[in-house]
Structures are given as C-alpha cells and as structure tokens.
Structure 1
Amino acid sequence: MTPIHYTVEAADLHAHLFRVTLTIAEPMPLQTVSLPVWIPGSYLVREFSKNLQQLQAKQGRRSASIIQRDKCTWDIACKEGQPLELSYEVYAFDNSVRTAWLDSQRGFFNGTSLCLRVHGQEEQPHRLQLQAVKNQADWQAATGLAPLKTDKRGFGLYQADNYDELADCPVEMGAFWRGSFTACGIPHHFVVSGALPSFDGARLLADTQKICEAAIHFWHGQGKQASNKAPHKNYLFMLNAVNDGYGGLEHRNSTALICNRVDLPRQTSPRTNDGYTTLLGLISHEYFHTWNVKQLRPDAFSRYNYTQENYTTLLWFFEGFTSYFDDILLCHAGLIDNATYIKLLGKTITQVQQTPGRHVQTVAQASFDAWVKYYRQDENTPNATVSYYTKGALVALCLDLSLRQEGHTLQAVMRGLWKRCKAGPMHEQDLLDELQTVSSRNWQKEIQAWVHSTEDLPLRDVLTSQGIEVHAEIASMAQRLGLRVSETSGSVQIKAVLRSSAAESAGLAAGDEWLGMEVGAKAQGGSWRLGKLDELPALMGREHKGVALVSRDKRMLRLPLTLPAQASHWRLAVPADRKAGQWPAV
C-alpha cells in the first residue's frame, strides 16, 4: 500500500465542491495533518483552510476523533497498525492560478488547496487518484505529475516523490484544447480552456516552442546536450482564457496561466497585437522560472514552511531578473524586434519613475515586505513601496549593460550561478561572487546603491552606452497631475493620489469622483462636466487655476486646483544606424 494516497472527485459541479479521500497507510498514534496557508510563488497568506469542510476520520469501521489545533491543523487519535482514512470537501470557486475552481465548464486545483499535509511523512511517496467526472464524457485531465495508470483522457493514478512535488503540480480538467511540441528534445504540452472558435492553436504552439528553445539555450548553450542539462524532462502549460484576467504561477515542470481570451492568436488575424505580445511575455516569464526560483532559490525556500510566511530579501533577483529576461528571450526567439523591446522597456521605466515609493523603500525591503505590501495593495501603495518586479528588472538592466561595457554579459553571470547554486540555496553573496568571477572586479558598491538604497538607478547612462536614444515625451494628464484613475462611461474615478503632486496639493483623494471644473467667472459659463482627464486642457483654456468639482461620500466638494507645468517621461528609441546584433538582440 502506498504510504500516502489521495483520491480527488469532482463531487458537485454546481456547488463547486471537490471531495477528497486521504488514506494514510501507517499513521502515528496522534497523527497531525494540516492544509497550507500559502502557495509558493504567490507571497500572501491566503488561508486555504477556509474552504475545507466536513472533515471526517475513520480506521476501518471505527470513527477516529479529530481535534482542531489551529486554523489549519488537526490532530487525529489513531490505533497503531491500521490505515487512517480522512474524507472532506473543498469549496472551489476562485478562478485564479493560485487556488481551486470547479464548475460545469472546468476544474482546476493546486495541491496546496486540496491536499492535507501528513506531518512526519512529507518525504514518503504520495499518490493522487483523479476520478473521471460524472456526466462529462468530453472532459480530460492534465498535470505535471508522473502518470502510473491513466486512461486516454488523463484520469487515473499519478505519483509524486513527496509532498512538495504533489503541491507543485496543479491539475487542469475540462473539455480543453490540447497540443504539443518538442523543444531541444524535451516534450512540451499545452492545454487551453475557454478559447474562442477562431483560436489559432498552431501559432501559439510554434511561438511557445521558440520561447522554450531560447530559454534552454540561454541557460545551457546551443549544444546537443542542452536538453540533458535542463532541470525538467517534460513540461506542461495550462492556460485559462477568460473575459478579463491576467497572471501566472510557476511550478517545477508546469505553469498555470490566465489571460484575456481576445489576446489569444486568431486564425483570422495573422498580425500580432499588444495583448498577444503580453501573453508571450507571460509565457516566457513563467518558463524562465523553471530555472530561476524553482531550482536556483533563496535559502528561505530551501524547504517550504507551509504554515507561515517565508521571508527573503531576494525577490528583486528571482522575480525582477526574470522580468528582465522574459522580454529579452522574445527578442532571442525572433518574436519581437529591438524597437518593440525598447518600447516595452520604456513602459517599465516610466512605471518605476511614476512611483514615489521608490524613494521610500529599497527593492530589497520590497522583497521582504511582499507578504504585507505588494500582495495587499491599496491607494497608498505607489507612495509607500516599489515593485520588486519592475525595479528588479531595471537593476538587471543596469548590471547587464554595465557588464557589456566591460565586454561581459549578465547571461554569463546567470549561467555561472546555475552551476554554483543549483544544488543548494543561493545568497546575495553568490551573485556578488559570480559577478566578480565573470568581470574580475567587485560589484558591492553597485549592489549597495541599486538594491539597498533608494537612489535612482543610472538608467540614462547605461542605455546611452548601448546607443539607445532617450527622448522627452509629454506626459499624460494623469501623470502630470500625479493621479491614477479609471475612466468609464464618462466618469473619472480617482484610484490613487501620488505623493507631492498637484492633485495631492488640491486635496483630491482616492475614492473621489471628479465630476467637473469651474474655470473663470461663473457668469461666463465656466462650469463644465469632466468625462476624461485629457479634456482638462480644453476646459481650462489658458487658465492654470480652477476649481475641481468632486463627489466624496455623497458630498459635493470644491477643491482649488493649480495645473502644473507640462511634464514629460522618457521615450526610448533605437537609432536607424545602430549595428545589427547589438543588445538586446543576441
């Protein structure tokens, strides 16, 4: 008998309930089980146990007593020498990549949401039995787990070496589209749920294959042995196409993705739109994580503690560097040109420059505080914190272009880190050591300034060193005022007010609805309805001062506003005479 065995059944599609039966062959006299409170890769305590119900335990025909120790942990009193069987239900109605979902169209779950952890037996083999879904003859199942005995639709028995592997291999079920390809000799599979009939699966497969080959070559070179050096022997992409959504979560040999279905490639439209480019960047990002965070990982992730936060100051490296290389790999794969890449980079730079919090929090602090700040964003987030994704990507940019000035590349550093740390945890000192190995000089000063201080990065200097032109471009009215807004149906809703901005000086606040403007004397007809911020110049004419008419908590407010001088942000450009083969294309 397998030491740990789970049977998962889609018990009620309309009630969104999975039923799980967990059999422990040799339980301890007082067997403890628990459900994780977070999922690796998404740094927030999500309390998955809130969805667990109807927990029961028995040995043979005898019920076993259950004592709940805390919010997610239970003790079961057992008799020695008899298997213990636990049964319970899990409510699954979170259509994200992080938890679980079940309805009449699709099922999905991560092991962290469904599979209780058996304390003391985490290193034992774990098996997962996926039951075919009743009255859903067209449903299939897909997972990165190793199959032992499955039917042609993918339902049946799967094996994991331990609990960590079980938790790191999500499961997709439904009447999904399926395709496959080989990248550098490694089998890859792709399943897509929710696609439109015009979906061009062949194009998605071809483009993803290019990304995967570019990533494998990035880490292991062009040789025939590259596939033998890769950390995975097969890989699965699981994409959920929805009306409105975006995101991904990396796993050891798979990834769960979500995108707007209109961003999928269509057979009727051979051109690449911005949404599809964004999706390819997401695919590249999550696949790059197969190396960077799933194998190379900080000491805090050497062994996951599923019961609490796992703190690290290195997310700027694991997420930020991955965010830098994801679009670079699209260049390597020939899916975007240098001009498109530079445009994407310019957006990242603008995003960081429009975040006052970069002068409040270092990117190392942002990494450590992810649990309470990045994943719990509110109206003050841009004023108090900086993204370890975007600023981390710019730290990588500065390192890469500084290294290139000396005849080296950040890619060489990443390959060196792979050899140095793939068998053990990575520390910041390992990065410093590898930078010195590659370049023969110390980089402590740069890392201190770029990672551990709130100084602005030397972006203009490193970009111009590679021949990239930096131009000033007129900022939008929202950027000029220091606002983040949503504009729908002729209504301007304020989402955030940036620190030390004209909007803050006027007294505008998050949650306000900006209704209109008073400009000049009322007798001259100076009160106007505001439908979009870009209408302000037309409404104000030559005036620089006016009164903003605002609705706040059903009260009408008149807030004096002084329109600031024209502001600008960076626009990057690749000069026409730039030599082929220069960064970022390789």
Structure 2
Amino acid sequence: MLKKLLLLLCFVYQVNAQDSLHYSIDLNRLQHDRLTVNVKLPAGVKEFCFPKMVPGTYAIYNFGRFVSNMQAFDATGKALSVVRKDTNTFFLPNAYTLSYEVDDSWDSPEIKGPYIFEPAGTNFQQDTLFALNTHALLGYVKGKEQIPVSLQLTTPKGLVASTSLSAQKDIYTASSFQQLTDAPILVAPADTVHLHLANADILISVYSPNQKIKASEVAKELKPLLKAQLHYLGGRFPVNNYAFLIVMSAHLKNGSYGALEHAQSSFYYLPEDSIEVMGPVIRDVSAHEFFHIQTPLNLHSEEIGSFDFQNPSMSKHLWLYEGLTEYAAQHMQLQGDLITLPAFLERMTEKYRTMNFSYDNSIPFTKMSKGVLGKYKEEYGNVYQKGALIGLCLDIFLRSETDGRYGTQQLIRDLSARFGPNKSFQDEDLFKLIAETSKIKGVESFFSKYVSGNKDLPLNEMLEKIGCELSSPAGKKDKVALLEAIKQDMKEIKNPSPSQLNLRKAWMTN
C-alpha cells in the first residue's frame, strides 16, 4: 500500500512538473545585440506564440517580429521542423525544448513595424543596462496560458536585477504567463532605495547613465506622494510590494517619454536631468501610474482579466482605467496639500482646452474605447483629457447627491472590495453595478448622457456646486466658438455660498 502511494505521489509530481513552462536567459551571452532564450515546454505543445499586444499599451506591437532563429527539439535532443505560421505564431508539435534569439526594441532600426514606446519594449547594453519587459522577450504555449511559469535569469557581474517579482537563486516564479510578463525587470548598476509604508514594501530603482539623478533623490520626491496616496486609498495599499523602475535617457528617441503601468510595478523612460528639473515630472507621472494598482489591478472587466494576447478585445471603459486614474492622480495631490486649488483647476483647464482643440468629442466615450485599436486610434489621447474631466464631473455629482459623503474614491474602494484582482465584471454591466453599489439616484443617467452618450460634460453645473466656474460660450459648433471656449479658465467664484463651501471642503478633504 505504501509503495503504491509513493508511486502515485511520484506520478502526480511528474504530471505537475510537465504542466509548467520554464525559461532561462543568460545576459552574459549577448551576441550581435541579441539575447538567447531557452525554454523547457510542457507536454502536448503545438503552437508557441508571442504577444500581439499587451495590457496597458492600447496599440498593436507584434513582438514576434523581434524573434529569430527559432529551434525546437524532442525529448532525445533531436531537432524538429519549425513552421512560422505568422509574425507571432510558431508551429512545433511535440517539442520538448526550444531556443530562439530576440533583438531589443530600443535599438533595432532594421526591424520594420510600428514604433514601440520604450516603457513597453527592451534594451540590451552589455555590462550597462538591460531593460527587460518580459512580454517582449517570452512566448507562451497556446491553450496553456494559465499554467505556472518560471524564469532563470543570469545577470552580469556588477549589475543587479530590480523587479516586483520575488526570486530564489535567480529564479523568478509566477502562477501564469500573464503574471510573469506583468512584471518588468531592470538590470543595471545598483542604485536602489527601499521604503516601507503601511502594509507595502516599495522599491525604487534608477538607472542614470551620467549619474545626474539618484534613487535616494527620487525617493524624497515620491515619499510625500505615496503618503498622500495612502490616505486617498483609505490607509492601506491594495498591494504588499511595488517597484518603481526608472530609466533616465540622455538621448530620447522620437522625443517621447513616459511610463507603463503594471499590477505591482511601473516602468519609466524619462529625460536625464537633475532632480530639480525632473522631480515634478517624476511625481506627476508616478502619481498616475501608481494609481493603476486600483484599476485595473483590483477592478477590471473580463477583457483585461482574461486578456487575449493574440486577439485582444477592448473594453468600453477607458474612462475608468485611464480617465478616472488620471483624475485621482490630480485630486489626490489636491487632497494631500501637494498642490493648491488654483493649481488643480489650472491642470483641469489645460485638459479641457486640449480635449476641445485636439479630439472629436462627438464620439461617445464607450464607443471610442471599444474601437481604440482601429477606427478611433487617433482619439486615444483623450482618455487623459476628457477621461479625467469625466472623473471630475462624476466625483462632484456623487458628492452633491450625498452631502459630500460619497465620491469616486469610495466608489472605487467599494467596487474593488466586491471584485478584486481575481474576479472580473462583465463590460456591459459596469454602469448598473455602479448604480447598485453607490445607491445614488441618477448615476446611470449620468453615464448614459456623458459616457455612453455624447452630450457635453456638465462642467459648469458641477463646478458651480463647489464654488467654481468655467465660462464657456453656448454651442461650440463653429471655429470661433471653439477658440473662445478653449480660452476659458476654471477658477473659484467670488463669494461662494455656505453650501458650496461645505461641498468644496468635503471634496478637498475626504
């Protein structure tokens, strides 16, 4: 009986070991600006794929175009034929192991295709810097996206790896491909700071080629911000560890910079300059990216929760994922006394002007979100403009209906508690869920008019409730009216009423 039990346990262990995916990369073996990835596959492999798109980017990148020299072998080490079905898909039935080479996306002009925003790509510099967004390096077995995965990473002497992943002896493990590739790795000379706030351990890792900025300086900028965010989130972070991975560059390509959010980290590509110059930029970008720990980490639809790397389906709710996140990043700074009310209104004014000057606001926001990869690609930037103003209007509306007691802060907390990182909502149900959760009359009408509909946002009406105003001409259909509209400022009104001041106080403090 004991022998049978031992045999059974061995069998179960072998099955579990087979049903996993193991990668290994030796960063010391960089040749011709390419890295080699070795993979041990689970049983029953037919197709090995690379992401067409990844969460948070809202663009088709086709990472498989950076992959070459794919080789597959059976359990005896015999080479197998490999058929490349398309840019991102390789057919290799019954393979046991495989290897392939990957070019970096920051410095491979010979590889044709769309420009990849640096925080979503890769950079390989021997003995200096490896920027590893693992979704741009690692493939997955089609049909086995949810099996456990591990990555063994060998780093050059003198460089250290920074990531939100935990590791034992340079081996990183994750429950699935999506979890592993949602955690970028920065390998560079050691310049890190660890902070502990409330329930969370925070890692700040900085690469500055000319040493113009230090992780300790960044930490001083971020600590007050993180404390304000902690208060805004109710005194507890929804994650227990988080990593800020920051690359400063002296030679920005395409003149673009920014960051990409992940569940427990964010990756930054910024101009290299002193902390005096870059401090405000780092604070503002970090405020937005860090708030993604709420959405989509703890609140998301199935389109994100079960992301399809080959045939992604877009959610209708970019107003929530990006717009409300951007609003919260600014509102939090107001509540935390990091900016003044006039400064906050100036930022909202700029968003209002950009919204009107650069984008087509006749398109319902849900419709734009759903079609952002195709027809409405050029409208994506409006998520940070009109999307944030939707958040402002919604927050004041909710507070005005509850004497200031309930706003978007509490709404997101309540929805996150109901769903969380492992439970998705149905895209079509969100507005109904918000009505059920908030129990505030008229909130579904708000969404039908201003988010799934194309009525102009009620900025004047909402601002007036907190003793502010935006004087803009009626209409805005012709060019003259539009130009007049974008000249207007959001500002405090003279002699606000006690009710306006009370609601303003609640909005600015809790």
Per the TM superposition, whether the score is higher than 0.5 is yes
**Residue aligning to 2:8:** none
> Which protein, 1 or 2, shows the higher relative CO under an 8 Å CA cutoff with sep ≥ 6?
2
CA contact (8 A) 1:179 1:190 kept: yes
In 2, distance between residues paired with 1:195 and 1:338? Answer: 37
Residue 234 of structure 1 aligns with an amino acid whose one-letter code is N
The answer to whether the 8 A contact 1:432-1:442 is kept is no
User: 1: CA distance between counterparts of 2:310 and 2:58?
Assistant: 13
SS of alignment partner, residue 86 of structure 1:
strand
Calculate the aligned-residue CA RMSD, in Å: 2.9
Cα deviations across residues 169-223 of structure 1 (Å, max 9, x unaligned)? 111112252111112131110111126544254342133233334334433x23x
Q: Which amino acid aligns with 1:310?
A: S
Kindly indicate which of the two structures has a greater share of residues assigned to strand. Answer: 1
User: Aligned partners of 2:130, 2:494: CA distance in 1, in Å?
Assistant: 50
Alignment match, 1:86? 98
1:72–1:440 CA distance, 2 compared to 1 (3 A): closer
The one-letter code sitting in structure 2 at the alignment partner of 1:260 is P
State the partner residue of 2:110.
Answer: none
Match for residue 172 of structure 1? Answer: 186
Counterpart of 1:192 in structure 2 is 206
Per the alignment, residue 175 of structure 2 pairs with 161
Equivalent residue, structure 1, for 2:372: 370
Taking structure 1 as reference, are residues 413 and 185 closer, same or farther at Cα in structure 2, changes over 3 Å only? closer
After superposition, what is the alpha-carbon deviation per residue over 1:216-245, rounded to whole angstroms, capped at 9, x for unaligned?
4433x23xxx35xx2x22111111112443
SS at match of 2:100: strand
In structure 2, what residue type is equivalent to 1:115?
A: L
Structure 2 equivalent of residue 144 of structure 1: 164
CA deviation vs aligned residue, 1:253-307 (integer Å, no higher than 9, x gap)? 1111122223x524xxxxxx6x533431211111111121122111212211111
Distance 1:434 1:203 in 2: 40
SS of 1:583's partner is helix
Aligned to 1:305, the other structure's residue is in SS state coil
Cα distance in 1 for residues equivalent to 2:488 and 2:217: 34
Q: Deviations over 1:469-499 (max 9, x none)?
A: 43679xxxxxxxx9xxxxxxxxxxxxxxxx9
Distance 1:428 1:203 in 2: 45
Q: Distance in 1 between matches of 2:73 and 2:28?
A: 20
Q: Deviations over 1:435-487 (max 9, x none)?
A: 454354132221111012222111112112211243679xxxxxxxx9xxxxx
**CA displacement at 1:327 relative to structure 2:** 1.1
Matched, 1:117 2:140: yes
2:336 maps to 1:333: yes
Map of 2:86 onto structure 1 = 70
**What is residue 449 of structure 2 aligned with on the other side?**
449
In 2, Cα distance between the equivalents of 1:96 and 1:17?
17
Structure 2 Cα separation of the partners of residues 87 and 404 of structure 1: 57
Q: Mark the runs of 5 or more structure 2 residues left unpaired by the alignment.
A: 1-16, 107-116
Unaligned 5+ runs, structure 1: 150-155, 267-272, 474-481, 483-498, 503-563
Equivalent position SS for 1:371: coil
1:410 corresponds to which residue?
408
8 Å CA contact 1:432, 1:443 repeated in 2: no
Q: TM-score, normalised on structure 2?
A: 0.83
SS at match of 2:268: strand
Q: Secondary structure at the match of 2:323?
A: helix
Q: Which moved more, 1:439-448 or 1:571-580?
A: 571-580
Structure 2 distance, partners of 1:373, 1:261, is 36
Q: Which residue of structure 2 lines up, in the alignment, with residue 234 of structure 1?
A: 241
DSSP-derived class of the 1:27 partner: coil
| Aligned residues of 1:281 and 1:330 also touching (Cα < 8 A) | no
Aligned counterparts of 1:565 and 1:302: Cα–Cα separation in 2: 42
> For the residues of structure 2 that align with 1:54 and 1:387, how far apart are their CA atoms?
41
Counterpart in 2 of 1:247?
Answer: 258
Q: CA deviation at 1:334?
A: 3.2
1:467-546 aligned within 5 A: 467-470=467-470, 501=479
Alignment-derived partner of residue 299 in structure 2: 296
Q: Which amino acid aligns with 1:175?
A: P
Equivalences for residues 201-350 of structure 1 within 5 A: 201-219=215-233, 221-222=234-235, 226=236, 230=238, 232-243=239-250, 244=252, 245-262=256-273, 265-266=275-276, 276-350=279-353
SS of residue in 1 equivalent to 2:354? helix
Shift of 1:585: 4.6
Compute the displacement of 1:572 (Å). Answer: 2.2
Question: Is the CA contact (8 Å cut-off) linking 2:472 and 2:488 kept in structure 1?
Answer: yes
2:411–2:438 Cα contact (<8 Å) kept = yes
Question: How far apart are the structure 2 equivalents of 1:87 and 1:437?
Answer: 50
Contact 1:357/1:386, CA 8 A, preserved across alignment: no
Distance 1:436 1:565 in 2: 40
Counterparts of 1:261 and 1:163, CA distance in 2: 33
User: Are residues 15 and 199 of structure 1, via their aligned partners in 2, closer, same or farther at CA, if it must alter by over 3 Å?
Assistant: same
Distance 1:566 1:328 in 2: 27
Aligned residue in 1 for 2:109: none
Distance 1:431 1:19, change over 3 A: same
Match of 1:425 in 2: 424
User: Following the alignment from structure 2 to structure 1, what is the Cα–Cα distance between the partners of residues 203 and 446?
Assistant: 41
Cα 1:438/1:454, change in 2 over 3 Å = closer
Judge conservation of contact 1:100–1:113 (CA < 8 Å) in 2.
Answer: yes
2 CA distance for matches of 1:500 and 1:442?
Answer: 32
CA distance in 2, matches of 1:368, 1:166: 26
For residues 358 and 304 of structure 1, the distance between their equivalents in structure 2, rounded to whole angstroms, comes to: 28
- For 1:440 and 1:362, the matched residues in 2 are separated by 23
Kept in 1, the 8 Å contact 2:40–2:97? The answer is yes
- Does the CA-based 8 Å contact 2:330-2:344 persist in structure 1? yes
1:95-133 CA distance string (max 9 Å, x none): 701121112431112222111102343333211111123
Provide the aligned length of Structure 1 versus Structure 2.
463
- CA separation in 1, counterparts of 2:300 and 2:486? 39
Shift of 1:86: 0.7
Q: Which amino acid aligns with 2:267?
A: A
CA distance in 2, matches of 1:310, 1:431: 19
CA deviation digits over 1:490-538, x for unaligned, max 9?
xxxxxxxxx9658xxxxxxxxxxxxxxxxxxxxxxxxxxxxxxxxxxxx
Q: CA-to-partner distance for each residue in 1:2-33, whole Å, 9 max, x for gaps?
A: 73211113366573211100112x421x5321
> How much has 1:329 moved relative to structure 2?
1.7
